[in-house]
Amino acid sequence: MAYRYVSCETIESELANAIKYITFTPDPELPALLKNALANETGEISKDILNCMLKNIELAPKIEIPLCQDTGTLVVFAEIGNQCIIEGPPLPEIINETLIKVSKELYLRPSIVKDPLLQRENTGNNAPAIVHISIIKGDTIKLQIDQKGGGAENMSRLQMFTPSASSEDIKNFVVETVTLAGGNACPPLIIGIGIGGNFETCALLAKKAILRPLSKKNPLKEYAVLEQEILESVNATGIGVQGLGGKTNALAVHILTAPCHIASLPVAVNLQCHSHRHIEIII
């Protein structure tokens, strides 16, 4: 079997460019969705906020000021080809070293504490990132990188339904989740829903679901219909932009599924705020 060698320096350089890019630039489809929301809104406050968000997106990359003061937790889904050999330290170390360098260079707000409950001392450098690694066939490294804000993450929820639960029950759970979140998740939202797997995998599915391209429909027709129904129900709550009322609480709903146990139907909802900062790179 032929192997491809990838240097630690190559990964560092590509990753540093990716983190810099998403710090200043949101998902490429986000501006069009916000403009569409603006065209549909009638309330003056909602329109004002949407205009501010659009101005922010226009200015952030020009003047190199982060899209949001909350520079988030760096979450990386890495798929490493089984014919790819990384020359240097293990990938999580490379990611953390790069994150520390970029955080210093861009003066990113340090957003991570060492211990979650006791002293909550800030690490001062945004490390460690949260890294999920899977091994796939091939000789490349795919990195899905998400700068995940804390406000939206806090309002995410998980419920272990039983198989008797219906699509309607899941829809109600999502609507309840965004209603409890109100303005705390910084809407308009991208809603990731994980269905299936077990306790931990459905949370990962929900997180991964938000990274799907915004205009891409679910490949399964039944799930595509459910996504649209949930989007309409969420927007009908009237919670609106930043929780201040209006027609736009979410811009997209993405479902990702996995096989599960015959006795289970886990469902996780991961909320992503309007500062939807993510990118995919292949090395």
- Contacts with ligand SF4 by CB under 6 A lie at 68, 70, 72, 149-152, 186, 273-275
Minimum separation from the CB atom of position 273 to ligand SF4 (A): 3
Comparing CB distances to ligand SF4, the nearer of 141 and 186 is 186
* 6 Cβ contact list (under 8 Å, min separation 6): 84, 85, 86, 87, 141, 283
For the chain, the first-to-last Cα distance in angstroms comes to 19
Structure-block tokens of residue 219: 């490949």
Q: Give the strand pairing for 265-272 and 277-282.
A: unpaired
Give CA–CA dist 75/156, Å, rounded.
15
Minimum separation from the CB atom of position 24 to ligand SF4 (A): 13
Comparing CB distances to ligand SF4, the nearer of 70 and 79 is 70
Minimum separation from the CB atom of position 33 to ligand SF4 (A): 15
Minimum separation from the CB atom of position 210 to ligand SF4 (A): 12
Comparing CB distances to ligand SF4, the nearer of 208 and 276 is 276
Comparing CB distances to ligand SF4, the nearer of 157 and 274 is 274
Give CA–CA dist 165/178, Å, rounded.
19
Comparing CB distances to ligand SF4, the nearer of 67 and 170 is 67
Minimum separation from the CB atom of position 249 to ligand SF4 (A): 14
Q: Give the strand pairing for 189-197 and 265-272.
A: antiparallel
**CA-based angle 47:50:54, to the nearest 5?**
135
